[in-house]
Amino acid sequence: MLLFSSLLDINKTMTKDAFIRLVIEWNQSSTHENNIIQDMVWNGERNIRYGSNGLWLDIEEYRNQNIIAVRYEKKEDDGSVWDTDYVMNFNSMKMAVRLDRSYTEDALNADPKFSTPHFITLLIEQGYIKKDGALPVLREPIVIDKENLELITDIYTRLKEESRRSDSKANYMTVPATMKELEKIELIKMPDGNYSLNYAIKPHRKRY
């Protein structure tokens, strides 16, 4: 069962060796001791497998596509099987991140809880994820106040440009539909001086 999936835009500062090193750091620095693969030593290999049948990490390079793919798998005592995939395309500088959970035939009732891969936090901390326009990709929310109202303007402008380039109909989740939803948002000044985003059922229009 697919639990999490994302496609990230990566800065060109990430090299193949840096990617592999960060994957190894992700495993070796885990706060859960039973997730760590013991005796993991990397000497620059691009195709290598670590661990055993119940806990392993596999690194594969696809030279023709300029891609390095990583899979980490862990089998729990309750029969659940966790697969985490990181696929880095160095032509497009995009990384696919995927978390999946399946079960063996004799699986017990498993805890349905999960969290997104900590590897994304490492990417953010190392500055490898590109900005989304003017917005940095962060783990914490960005508070909009009078000092950074231009961020809202930037988002609106970029979506407007996408809308002009798009020939799609204004259906749900298309760029034109998103533009219409943005028009329903207004900024309200709060007593503490910060601004809050308020969503209205209908777009706000000037009254004459």
- Tens digit of each residue's pLDDT (9 = 90 or more) over 68-83: 999 999 998 888 899 9
Provide the residue type at 26 as one letter: W
Task: Give the highest mean pLDDT range of 96-100, 109-113, 137-141.
Answer: 96-100
Centroid of chain to Cα 122: 11
- Provide the Cα torsion 7, 44, 83, 96; round to 10°: 10
Whether residue 206 is predicted with pLDDT greater than 90 in this model: the reply is no
pLDDT given at position 201: 47
Cα–Cα distance, 121 to 6 (Å, whole number): 13
Average pLDDT, the chain: 79
Whether residue 106 is predicted with pLDDT greater than 70 in this model: the reply is no
Whether residue 196 is predicted with pLDDT greater than 70 in this model: the reply is no
Q: Which helix (H) or strand (E) holds 198?
A: strand 195-199
Q: Could you report the per-residue pLDDT of 60-69, keeping only the tens digit for each?
A: 999 999 999 9
pLDDT given at position 44: 95
Q: Could you report the per-residue pLDDT of 25-36, keeping only the tens digit for each?
A: 999 999 999 999
CA-nearest of 73, 74, 82, 78 to 107 is: 78
> Once rounded to an integer, what is the mean pLDDT over residues 197-207?
48
Whether residue 4 is predicted with pLDDT greater than 80 in this model: the reply is yes
pLDDT given at position 160: 75
| pLDDT classification of 193: cutoffs 50, 70, 90 | low
Cα–Cα distance, 204 to 189 (Å, whole number): 17
The larger pLDDT score, comparing residue 137 to residue 49, is at 49
